[in-house]
Amino acid sequence: MVAVMTWVLPSQVWGASFAATDLQVVGRAIAFMLPPPAPDAIIAIAYVAGNAASRQDADAIAALISGGLRAGRTTLRPRVIDINGLEAGGFQVVIAAAGANGPRLNAAARAARALCVTTDIEAVRSGFCAMAITSEPRVQITVNHAVAAAAGIEFVAAFRMMIQEL
């Protein structure tokens, strides 16, 4: 019964894997990236094709940042992209929607020289994504330095002192 009710609810009711506060933390973290994002940067929200829950999660995340995500002096514009379409590049940051973490996302982020962000700390520990963000019960940012470096992403020294690096 619950599964049926979830299926018929409008997409804006779907709870995103990223909370609004998580996304604020993402914006603040991106502001410390080296090189900084371009003024017209795109933030890709990757989902798994054929996975309705993953697509709903990506759409819910995009709705939370529909007006753009402030990152220092830049406002990143969201674009929901099927994980298979990430190979085309054109983004400087990619958020992993539910189920999108894995080797394909890692390879696409690395090829695009983009920062991969998730709320799944295990994906960062496993080397699938560069940064994990949580904002509850307290802000925690974990960066897999090797994954970030492989994508050509660095952070200013002051930021590196505030995060946990693997």
Per-residue model confidence as pLDDT tens digits over 108-147: 999 999 999 999 999 999 999 999 999 989 999 999 999 9
> Which of these, 4, 11, 9, 100, lies nearest to 48 by C-alpha position?
100
Dihedral sign (CA 30, 32, 36, 39): positive
pLDDT for the residue 22: 95
Region label for 128, one of left (φ > 0), alpha (ψ between -120 and 50) or beta (otherwise): alpha
Distance CA 17, CA 156 (A): 27
Helix (H) or strand (E) holding 117: strand 115-118
Please state, for a pLDDT cut of 70, what percent of the chain lies above it. 90
Exposed/middle/buried for 14, CB within 10 Å: 0-12, 13-18, 19+?
middle
> Partners of 141 in the beta sheet?
133
Per-residue model confidence as pLDDT tens digits over 57-74: 999 999 999 999 999 889
Residue 40: pLDDT over 60? yes
pLDDT for the residue 166: 86
Lowest mean pLDDT across 13-27, 72-86, 142-156: 13-27
Lowest mean pLDDT across 90-99, 105-114, 157-166: 157-166
Distance CA 124, CA 133 (A): 10
Give the chain's domains with CATH numbers.
14-165 (3.40.50.2300)
Residue 16: pLDDT over 90? no
Both tokens of 126, joined, read 């496993």
Q: What is the largest CA-CA distance in the chain?
A: 51
